[in-house]
Structure 1
Amino acid sequence: MNIDIPAGVRTFSRVETFQIKTILKKITGTFEKWAYEEIKLPYFEYLDVHRKGLDEEIIGRSFKIVDRNTGEILCLRADFTAQIARYFSSLKKKDLPKRYYYTGNIFRYVQPKGENLWERLQTGIELIGSSRLEADAEIIAVASQSLKDVGIEKFQIDINNTKIFGILRDHLEIDSDSEYRKFMEFIKKREIFNLKKFISEKKAEKEIAEFVVNVPKFQGGIELIETLLKKYPFLTEALSQLKSIYEILKDYGLSEKVMFDIGEPKEFSYYTGIVFEIFVEDFPKPVGQGGRYDSLISKYDGSVPATGFAFDVLNIWEYMKEKDLITEKNYKDYFIIDLTPDKKNAYRIGKILREKGYKTGRDIIDRPLKDSIRFAFENRYRKVIVIGLDSSEKEIYIYSTEKEFKKESIDQFIKKIVPKGAKYT
């Protein structure tokens, strides 16, 4: 019998699950401190609705099924931002701003090799209703604080502005979407030879041609933006926005984290302004990305500006595991072994401990006592309670290791139990 799972998915162990859950709890706790509220979204969407907000390339990689009720084609969630745009558009009352956060999997097909998974665990935020740069800066600030709160200090925020490419498209008179995609692919892959050939065929003006050929090289700090502003006045509006958001991020104390990477266009066509990716030191994959998408909601209903970002949670987890930044262990408090026939004391003590907030398990397998005690400590229980070890059922043995224990009456033990985490003076 085949009990394997598909190549594009994976199972996470108890320890791994606890680690990921701990990371998520800290990140979403940061979101909530900034007044973002959680929203739960369905796994399934109508394909035609999802298609309105997403590139054909993403739609092509989505997992599709048939709705048995209507016969329409559904797809598993391929992107949260498009889904939230659809949800927001469905609201009758659209009081602004809206601050949402979400956690869950997106599903896209990739060639299942190595660590390529069909499920990508994300958590992120969306700020709907403001076109101001301070909204973009808030999104970046929340992302930065979230990383700091999980113990990641060495990260870099690569910022760009998609308006630069819109301006280039207009000046180069690129009419068709297919031609524009080809042009952007040359930039993304930093293919300078193909960029030279492309602008030669377009007979571009010298200033524009010079900028395009050098786009893949434009990486640096605020000095780069100031230089480009002086040299390429046709990009003044887009570059000025980059300079302005840098000034706001300086007020947040994040200026040293900011880099500008003009030659890095982003994955989604719905971005309309400031975009960014977050990288951590000595780790090859981005841990987060986001940006402004002022035209996305209009594809469903209304025209409302918005911005947001998402973390790739598994990338954060892999990095933290690699750098030994996950210090929390999934400890449980008590493991109760009752050797008496009726087990009443085990039920009683367990009930009281759980009511006081202690994680408490009970042995329900017949085996030698020493094996049960070993099992408890190997499975991260802090203490083991043994009932009925001698002739008295009113006394218990409390093990702190496999060999160290103390003897105490049940009544005395129960009187000493206080709520977990309580502070007394």
Structure 2
Amino acid sequence: MSRDEAKPRRPAEPATVDTSVFSPLPIGARDLLPIAARRRRALTNELLVWFERWGYREIVPPLIEYFEVLGRGLGAEDRERCVRFIEAGTGGVVALRSDVTPQIARVVAQRVGGAVAAGDSMRLCYAATLVRLPNGRDDRAELHQVGVEYLGDGSESADAELIGLADASLLALGSSAHRFDLSHAAVVRDALAFLGLSPTIERELRDHLARKDLDGLTRVLERAGVDRASTQAFASLADSYGPPALLAAARKRLRSIGAGEAIDQLREVVAAIEREHPSCAARVLVDLGEVRGFDYYTGLRLRVWAPGVGSPIVRGGRYDDLVSRYGAALPAVGLAFDLDALEDALAAADIQVAGAELSAARLIAVESSPRLG
């Protein structure tokens, strides 16, 4: 044994961190380390494979769009949250993708009359990262989604298909405690149009509806001079939440303020679910006072909730007027799985994502070549 080998080895010096060069992430951004990254990839692949089994074909829209084009499909508030920059060489304003649905509408509209006939229906799916300016330090700047869009079919059966698909996908992942909240964009919109109030009052009412604040709704309506019967009918939207059986009584109560037709349409969707996808009917609830979400929704709106998560794991709805903003008239409905929320829900239920396990390290021995000479 050499003299050097006989000396005891000193323990390695602990690693030091120079905090003066620490580089924080922007507000709303985060890293995905190996285990989380593998789980994300496995979950994305699982959902896409399941969508394809239902006949949905993957599409990959670009990360950037001209702001004017993307903005056609967004409301004023969502346009303000777009990350924009000037395109080198042209001076055009370009935006990072903040929503996939307007992109799908553009892609399809550009091909109607060519590769897509006017009467065609299309089932498309995607996996995408969205970028938005965050609302405060706790908001996300990046949203990771896997979604589907069903274009060309305006029937209640198309709405029901997406709910059946979402339910089947979640069951395949191991979820069983999720529930669907269904609403209709025209319930509140038609009721507000009937009341004929100022935009300022409408914003107040929407804020109170988002908080399910019945007393606040009543105060605003009384202050605006709305008659007692209409005040009671509109304010009841805050409590119009529960099983679909409540729709019959809600129609009688709300048709006096112009919302009867929208409730009838929602009843038809529920009937289609019970008829065509009965296995998920027991997990369906309705929420007639729901007002949150994109401005482009025209009919069904849906959210899927799961225990242990404070935000929906799936969002979507019908947007029959959106494709026309890009030059073609096609009804459409879609939904998107929020991967961050979905992962939290699966973790809260102690459900492991298949294929997310890290592969064991392998030792590979290579036989050396015989020496020459």
Q: TM-score range by the shorter chain?
A: 0.7 to 0.9
Counterpart residue type for residue 99 of structure 1: R
- 1:386 corresponds in structure 2 to none
SS at match of 1:28: helix
SS at match of 1:265: coil
Instruction: Tell me which structure has the larger Cα radius of gyration.
Output: 1
- 1:330 corresponds in structure 2 to 358
- 1:132 corresponds in structure 2 to 155
Are 2:87 and 1:72 aligned?
A: no
Which stretches in structure 1 are left out of the alignment for 5+ residues? 346-425
Aligned counterparts of 2:135 and 2:353: Cα–Cα separation in 1: 34
Q: Deviations over 1:241-288 (max 9, x none)?
A: 222211221131221100111121131110001101000123222101
Counterpart residue type for residue 85 of structure 1: A
Which stretches in structure 2 are left out of the alignment for 5+ residues? 1-20
**Candidates 249, 252, 255, aligned match of 2:273:** 249
How large is the RMSD of aligned CA atoms in angstroms? Answer: 2.1
Q: How does 1:244-283 map to 2 (within 5 A)?
A: 244-251=268-275, 252=277, 253-283=279-309
SS at match of 1:6: coil
Are 2:217 and 1:189 aligned?
A: no
Number of residue pairs the alignment of both structures matches = 340
Q: Contact 2:214–2:239 (CA<8 Å) still a contact in 1?
A: no
| Alpha-carbon offset, residue 16 of structure 1 | 0.9
**Candidates 222, 235, 238, aligned match of 1:216:** 238
% same residue? 24
Counterpart residue type for residue 359 of structure 2: Y
Greater strand share, 1 or 2? 1
| Alpha-carbon offset, residue 299 of structure 1 | 1.4
Distance change >3 Å, CA 205–CA 105, structure 1 → 2: same
Q: Deviations over 1:154-173 (max 9, x none)?
A: 11000001111222122111
Are 2:124 and 1:100 aligned?
A: yes
SS at match of 1:240: helix
Aligned counterparts of 2:77 and 2:342: Cα–Cα separation in 1: 26
Aligned counterparts of 1:131 and 1:189: Cα–Cα separation in 2: 31
| Alpha-carbon offset, residue 334 of structure 1 | 3.7
**Candidates 264, 268, 282, aligned match of 1:240:** 264
| Alpha-carbon offset, residue 111 of structure 1 | 4.4
Q: Deviations over 1:91-121 (max 9, x none)?
A: 142331011101011111114635x321110
Q: How does 1:87-236 map to 2 (within 5 A)?
A: 87-91=107-111, 92-93=113-114, 94-95=116-117, 96-111=120-135, 113-114=137-138, 116-174=139-197, 176=199, 179-234=201-256, 235-236=259-260
- 1:401 corresponds in structure 2 to none
- 2:347 corresponds in structure 1 to 321
| Alpha-carbon offset, residue 210 of structure 1 | 1.2
Aligned counterparts of 1:180 and 1:49: Cα–Cα separation in 2: 28
- 2:52 corresponds in structure 1 to 32
- 2:75 corresponds in structure 1 to 55
Q: Deviations over 1:115-139 (max 9, x none)?
A: x321110010111111111111111
Runs ≥4 residues deviating over 6 A: none
Q: Contact 2:130–2:143 (CA<8 Å) still a contact in 1?
A: yes
SS at match of 1:335: coil
| Alpha-carbon offset, residue 146 of structure 1 | 1.0
Counterpart residue type for residue 172 of structure 2: D
Relative contact order, CA 8 A, sep 6+: which one is greater?
A: 2
**Candidates 278, 283, 289, aligned match of 2:315:** 289
Counterpart residue type for residue 70 of structure 2: H
Distance change >3 Å, CA 8–CA 229, structure 1 → 2: closer
Are 2:31 and 1:11 aligned?
A: yes
SS at match of 1:49: helix
Distance change >3 Å, CA 198–CA 7, structure 1 → 2: closer
- 1:368 corresponds in structure 2 to none
Q: Deviations over 1:13-59 (max 9, x none)?
A: 11111111111111111110110010001111111111111011111
Q: Deviations over 1:169-195 (max 9, x none)?
A: 22111464x553343223212333442
SS at match of 1:277: strand
Counterpart residue type for residue 39 of structure 1: I
Q: Contact 2:302–2:317 (CA<8 Å) still a contact in 1?
A: yes
- 2:10 corresponds in structure 1 to none
**Candidates 41, 45, 63, aligned match of 1:43:** 63
| Alpha-carbon offset, residue 297 of structure 1 | 1.2
- 1:398 corresponds in structure 2 to none
SS at match of 1:9: coil
TM-score, normalising length: structure 1: 0.75
| Alpha-carbon offset, residue 231 of structure 1 | 3.1
Q: Deviations over 1:222-246 (max 9, x none)?
A: 2211221233334332112222211
Counterpart residue type for residue 316 of structure 2: G
